[in-house]
Structure 1
Amino acid sequence: MEIGFIGLGSMGSAMARNLVAAGHRVRAWNRSGGAIEGVAMLGAPAEAFDADAVMTMLSDDAAIRSVILDAGVLAAARPGLTNVVCSTISVAFARELAAAHERAGIGFVSAPVLGRPDVAAKGGLNVLVGGAPAAIDHVRPLLEAIGSRIWPLGDEAAAANAAKIAVNMMIAMAIEAMAEAVVLTEANGLPRAAFFELILGTLFGSRPYQSYSANIAAGSYAPGFKAELGLKDLRLAREAAGSAGRTLPMLDAAHARMAEAVAAGWGQLDWSAIAKFTLESGSRLGSAPAERLSA
């Protein structure tokens, strides 16, 4: 297939390489330029929409709105094109995008992914998919090129975005849970390495616990998924909960803790730096005023 690609950050670059390796012709636009072997670089995002499909991997709602909606590129898209948005975006904006694509007469699929850049490089992402069955079928070869498993989540595109936000919320809660458990166990003479060996070998052996317990054990928070992006995703979760008229107290607490970590100057560190904040500050979860922590 002829693929347009928008957004070549660490995740997007890995995905674009896998599309090339799968035999697709990929032409890409990136706000900060750059080059990838086998990918033809474009001068404007509108050029990416002269393709069979577009894969969009920009950072947030505002970036997608600016590059796609405000620039009016949908009106000039090739007939029959489907746009696959893999970004983590708000539920409300996913609905807005779906409506805008429908008005333009082109397909839209929400396909946020689970996995970090190292997983993306291996083509091992879990792809959460929402949208019309015909649109999904059209881009299935692309989804298979970037992921190890595709998870169909229904005809409503926004359902996939709600699932992605919920998963990220749960990961943040898991990181904070591990940090608080270490505070408790170390205060009673148990080294954190021994505690992590226990939990990973019994009840908590999933990938998030494996990955982030390693960060906590080593006291190393080199950027993977940045804390400022984690804060953004927790804000999206709070917005989605609020729109549904629901109160999620654990989410509010995790958002407050992530906001504290970012306010401490750790926004560019991995989002597991919320554990660093808990371990170093000794403050109770959610101790700072909620109005100061909004983001």
Structure 2
Amino acid sequence: MDVGFIGLGAMGKAMARNLAVAGHAVRAWNRSGGAIEGVTMVDTPAQAFESDAVFTMLSDDAAIRSVVLAPGALDEARAGAVHIVASTISVAFASELVAAHEKAGVGFVSAPVLGRPDVAAKGELNVLAGGDPAAVERIRPLLEVIGGRIWDMGPHAPAANAAKIACNMMISMAIEAMAEAVVLTEANGLSRDRFFDLILGTLFGSRSYQVYSANIANGNYEPGFKAMLGLKDLRLASEVAADMGRALPMLAAVHGRMAEAVEAGLGDRDWSVMAELTIGASRPAPNQ
């Protein structure tokens, strides 16, 4: 299949490489250039749309708007093409994209992914696919290359985006929960390693707890997912809650804590660095 790819950050680069290795003809555009073995680089996003299917893996709504909608790349799309947006975007913008693609006569699938760059490199992402069932089936072979499992989020594309935002919200809550647990246990002489061994072996053995407990235990916050992006996703979750007129107190708490981390100059560290603010704030001052 001819595949276009727009956005070659750590995640996009791994996904595009896997598609090329699987035998698809991949042409890619990236704002800052770059090169991937087996992938043809093109000069404009519109050229990427001269394909059977096009993936977009850009950072946010504004990036997609400026790269895809503003320059009219959809107008250059091949007849029958399907655009797959794998980025984490707002529910409102996903609805806007549905309308824009219908107007342009281009298929649209929301397919945000769960997983970090190392998971993307292995082709084991969890793909949350929402949109017209016929369009999803047409590009399913591509999703199976990048994903270990494809999750059907139904025919309403924005539902996939709501699910991705909710998942990221819950991961941030898990990070904060572990940080607060460390406050209680360390104050009573129990090491982080020993406590995390307990929770991973009993109640909380999921990948999120495994990955982020290791970061907190080792104080190693090399970015897998940057705090500034985590803050963006929590803002998106807060916007959905506000649009519904609902108060979500746990969301408000982690949104505030992530904002503190970014304001403290930690935006380029892994988003689990927010745990250090909670743990550090619990320590008594030296003169106490």
TM-score (norm 2): 0.97
- Deviation string for 1:198-250 (max 9, x for gaps)? 00000000000000000000011011100000000000000011112211110
Q: How far apart in 2 are the matches of 1:25 and 1:78?
A: 15
1:119 and 2:107 aligned: no
Distance (Å, rounded) in 2 between the aligned partners of 1:19 and 1:43: 20
Aligned to 1:259: 259
The residue aligned with 1:268 is 268
1:206 maps to a residue whose letter is S
Residue 81 of structure 2 corresponds to which residue in structure 1?
81
List aligned pairs for 1:1-295, cutoff 5 A: 1-282=1-282
The Cα of 1:76 is off from its aligned counterpart by 1.9
SS of structure 1 residue aligned to 2:28: strand
Aligned-partner SS, 2:270: coil
CA RMSD of aligned residues (A): 0.8
| Paired residue type of 2:209 | Y
- Separation in structure 1 between the aligned mates of residue 24 and residue 11 of structure 2, nearest angstrom: 18
Aligned-partner residue type, residue 30 of structure 2: N
Question: 3-state SS of the aligned residue for 1:128?
Answer: strand
Q: 1:21-67 CA distances to partner (integer Å, 9 max, x unpaired)? A: 11100000000000000000000100001110101100000000000
Question: 1:272 is paired with a residue of what secondary structure?
Answer: helix
Q: 2:76, 2:57 → 1: CA distance?
A: 20
- For 1:20 and 1:103, the matched residues in 2 are separated by 30
> Deviations 1:45-94 (Å, cap 9, x if unpaired)?
00001110101100000000000011111112111000000000000000
- Give the deviation of 1:281 after TM superposition: 2.3
Q: How many Å separate the matches in 2 of 1:181 and 1:76? A: 53
Q: Name the CA distance, whole Å, in 2 between partners of 1:86 and 1:173.
A: 23
What is the CA–CA distance in structure 2 between the aligned matches of 1:108 and 1:130, rounded to whole Å? 9
Structure 1, residues 121-141: CA drift from partner, whole Å, max 9, x if none?
000000000000011011111
**Residue aligning to 2:286:** none
C-alpha distance in 2 between matches for 1:106 and 1:121: 29
| 1:129 alignment partner AA | A
Q: CA shift at 1:102, angstroms?
A: 0.4
Which letter maps to 2:100? A
Return the alpha-carbon distance in structure 2 between the equivalents of residues 209 and 148 of structure 1. Answer: 20
How many residues in Structure 1 have an aligned counterpart in Structure 2? 283
Name structure 1 gaps, 5 residues minimum. 284-295
Aligned counterparts of 2:138 and 2:245: Cα–Cα separation in 1: 35
CA distance in 2, matches of 1:261, 1:278: 10
Cα distance between partner residues in 1 of 2:146 and 2:100:
26
Amino acid of the structure 1 residue aligned with 2:203:
L
Task: Work out the CA distance in 2 between the residues paired with 1:282 and 1:99.
Answer: 49
Q: 5+ unaligned residues in a row in structure 2: which ranges?
A: 284-288
Displacement after TM superposition at 1:278 (Å): 1.1
Post-superposition offset of 1:282: 2.4
Partner letter of residue 192 of structure 1?
R
Cα distance in structure 2, aligned partners of 1:52 and 1:109:
13
Looking at structure 2, the residues matched to 258 and 59 of structure 1 have their Cα atoms a distance apart, in angstroms, of 18
The residue type paired with residue 270 of structure 1 is D
Match of 1:287 in 2: none
Cα distance between partner residues in 2 of 1:194 and 1:39: 46
SS at match of 2:118: helix
